Amino acid sequence: MQMMENHAKMMPDSGMDMTMMQECIEACSACEQACTMCAGSMMGEDMAMCSGMCMNTADMTNTMMRSMMRPNGMHMQSMMAMLDATMMMCTACAEECMKHADMNEDCRMCAETCRQCAMACQKMMDAMKSMMPTS
């Protein structure tokens, strides 16, 4: 968190809520881990769609997290598009994992973590929208 606060000092005019950004980074990290573990637990099982969704979501959340860790290079419109894509991927992965949640505890936990990540991304995107000038 201290590193995020240091970045905020370097860009005082941005108005970015660094605490909210840190929460979103942490949600993306948790989602990446849960999806990776869920995909790994399905190896050898006949759940290729779910495993593939989990692997794609892990990659997407990693990219989102790493982009937010570089706030000085942030381009608002592209960052919002990335947040939107991450939310869609997390939501789709959660829906797919819930199909197997009664048979696989990893799928249930992955679905919940994906939902939490989607909510954190939505919260971050809403905050960014409020900072954008209206035309």
- Indicate the pLDDT class of residue 72, thresholds 50, 70 and 90: confident
Residue with tokens 């939505």: 122
- Indicate the pLDDT class of residue 47, thresholds 50, 70 and 90: confident
Complete domains list, the chain, with CATH: 31-36+46-66+77-130 (1.20.1270)
DSSP character for 61? H
Q: How far is CA 34 from CA 60, 109, 117, 128, 129, in A?
A: 13, 7, 11, 26, 29
pLDDT greater than 60 at residue 17: yes
Please answer whether residues 30 and 61 qualify as being in contact, where contact means their C-beta atoms are separated by less than 8 angstroms: no
The pTM for the full model equals: 0.85
Q: How far apart are CA 27 and CA 23, in angstroms?
A: 6
